[in-house]
Amino acid sequence: MVTDSPFTTENPVFANFVFYATIVVLKMMLMSGITAAYRITNKVFINPEDASSFGKQTKLVTNNPGVERIRRCHLNDLENVIPFVLIGLLYVATGPSLSSALLHFRLFAGSRLAHTVVYLLAVPQPARAILFTVGILATASMAVSTLLAVSF
C-alpha cells in the first residue's frame, strides 16, 4: 500500500524526528528517577509515608537545595520538550528538507542534553542560558517554518 503520509519511518525526516524526540523524552523521564535516587540517597522526603518507608526519619524536608535543583531542571524539560514534540510533528507534516530538519532536531536534542549536564553540575551562567536559548530558537524556528508553509 502506497501512502503519502509524512508520518512513516520510510520518511527520513520523520524517522529522525522519532529518534531525537525519543531521546529527549527519555532524558526528561530519567529526571524523575534522578530525583527519586537523590531523595533516597540523602534521606530527603516530603511525604510522611515516604520517610517512614526508608527508616526512622522524623523530620520531613520540604525544601532541599539538591532536590530542588533537579526538580527545576525537570520542570525546564517539561516546558521545552513537550512543545518541541508537538511543533516537531507539525513541522514534519510540512515536508521540510532533511538537512533543515536534522539541523533543528540535533540542535534541540544536543542543547537539552547539554543543558541538563550544565544545570545539574551548577556550571556558572551564561552556559545554561545559552543552551536554553539554542533549544527555544530551534523549536521557534520550526514553528515559524510550519506557519509559513501553511496556505489558506
Break the chain into its structural domains and give their ranges.
Answer: 12-149
pTM for this predicted structure:
0.89
Q: Give the whole-angstrom CA distance, residue 105 versus residue 89.
A: 11
Backbone angles phi, psi at 31, to 5 degrees: -60, -35
Q: CATH for 12-149?
A: 1.20.120.550
Please give the C-alpha separations between residue 41 and each of 31, 44, 54, 56, 104, in angstroms, as whole numbers: 15, 8, 10, 14, 37
Average pLDDT, the chain: 92
71: cell is 526538580
pLDDT per position as a tens digit, 45-55: 888 787 777 76
72: cell is 527545576
List the alpha helices (DSSP H) in 9-126: 12-42, 48-53, 65-93, 98-120
Picking from 1, 16, 41, the residue whose alpha carbon sits closest to that of residue 106 is 16
Q: Give the whole-angstrom CA distance, residue 81 versus residue 21.
A: 8
pLDDT per position as a tens digit, 82-128: 999 999 999 999 999 999 999 999 999 999 999 999 999 999 999 99
Please tell me the least confidently modeled range out of 59-68, 81-90, 135-144: 59-68
For 3, counting Cβ atoms within 10 Å of its Cβ (0-12 exposed, 13-18 middle, 19+ buried), the class is exposed
Work out the percent of the chain whose per-residue pLDDT is above 90: 74
pLDDT at 56: 64
